Amino acid sequence: MKWVGLDYDEGVDKPGEYGPYRQSERLDIYKHYIDQLLNEEKAYFSVTKNDEIIFEGNNLLDKYKKNNDYSVVVKFKVNNDQKISFLDDVRGTIQFDTSNINDFVILRSNGIPVYNFTVVIDDYLMKISHVIRGEDHISNTPKQILIYNALSFELPKFAHLPLILGEDKSPLSKRHGEVSITYFREEGYLPKAILNYLSLLGWNANEQIFDYTEKYQEFDLKKVSRNPSIFDYTKLLWTNEVHLRNDPIEEVHKSFTEWAKYTTVKIDNEDSFVKKIIEASRAKVQTLKQLYEFSKNFFVEEFEYEEEFIEKYMKKPWFKQVIEATIRKLSEIDEYNLANVENTLKEIADLNITSRKNVFQTIRGSLLGRLVTPGLYESIIILGKNESIKRLKRALEFSNTLDINPRR
């Protein structure tokens, strides 16, 4: 939640007035309300042996206490022929008949209360105003309302959201693809993009790309669809791509450095240098991981040359002449800017050592070890004059170790 920017008022790591926050630390609290229901005869002990009920009542006999031969639970007493209705902020009025609800366990034999009981106590004591959850919890709501009423607790507002489904329209799970937030974080999805996309599932925001920190002000539970949504991995990736391309460079840089730290990718370069790389690369990638893989040779000096580059360019007889001319021409540039670099490379191409494409790809591969990179002129500016010349000389030395193909 912190990673995607969803902060909270208090919790395990932010103590406040409504703790403790782990249910395992609230057992004494639950016991107080279990005892209240027992004393008011709204709940009772149920004792079984070998799955056969042998006793039920409000006063547990001593012979059943702490005796491993018996299983002792506490059940909530349901009065039949009651109508339970509540106003759901998504689905409108929902009604249940208690004749379809049997007495149910609220305290297990191991002394741990069940979910439907603990959430009522927790939500009431923590002053929860809205219980917003998936529609698969609708069936739990009547039992919880019975407990609310039995303890004279004021009901919160309920809202049951449509489920997120896979492409086969079954509940989204790992068989449809990765569903863990850890996976998307490691793959380099932007927190803003994830929340942007998730916000569109079941809600019509009138636009596809937005900043959730501003858009949430328009959110209304009553505008949430009742129909389930299909999780579309392709659209999520597209949403991420748009944010990566268009968000302020400061935001993307912050996300990129946090991703690198999280995935233990080592980047020791100056922030200004990294921002230039991001600016030059982000239009050609969809995730932060792709951004790094696409531009990683900017960050290291000792990189390997792609085999395709070696075969198509390094082994050609004109390779040495092109690189020597480039080193000489770059060294002669006094004002090192984009326009002068572009003019210089065009001058090298005009020497007719080989084709223009061969010249540019030879320089590109020598600088970054690969044939698909950010713009060549921009790359030379980002690397700087000295580093560019250094890399060209390294490529020249490496080519001297190769068997040169005599064919043009």
- Is position 148 within any domain? yes
- Is position 1 within any domain? no
Residue 222's pLDDT is: 86
Cβ neighbourhood burial of 109 (10 Å; 0-12, 13-18, 19+): middle
Indicate if 392 and 274 belong to the same structural domain: no
Least confident of 86-90, 122-126, 205-209, 402-406: 402-406
Indicate if 335 and 225 belong to the same structural domain: no
Over residues 270-328, the pLDDT tens digits come to: 999 999 999 999 999 999 999 999 999 999 988 999 999 999 999 999 999 999 999 99
Indicate if 27 and 135 belong to the same structural domain: yes
Over residues 319-370, the pLDDT tens digits come to: 999 999 999 999 999 999 999 999 999 999 999 999 999 999 999 999 999 9
Q: How confident is the model at residue 235 (pLDDT cuts 50, 70, 90)?
A: very high
Neighbours of 123 (CB within 10 A): 18
Residue 205's pLDDT is: 79
Question: pTM to 2 decimals?
Answer: 0.86
Over residues 175-202, the pLDDT tens digits come to: 666 778 999 999 999 999 999 999 999 8
Indicate if 237 and 266 belong to the same structural domain: yes
Indicate if 28 and 74 belong to the same structural domain: yes
Neighbours of 155 (CB within 10 A): 16
Cα–Cα dist 356/348, whole Å: 9
Average model confidence (pLDDT) across the chain: 93
Number of domains comprising the chain: 3
Cα–Cα dist 304/183, whole Å: 28
**Segments forming the whole domain that contains residue 147:** 23-161
- Is position 5 within any domain? no
Q: Evaluate whether 95 touches 82 at the Cβ level (below 8 Å).
A: no
CATH number at residue 216: 1.10.1160.10
Phi, psi (deg, nearest 5) at residue 312: -80, -25
Over residues 56-92, the pLDDT tens digits come to: 999 888 888 878 889 999 999 999 889 999 999 999 9
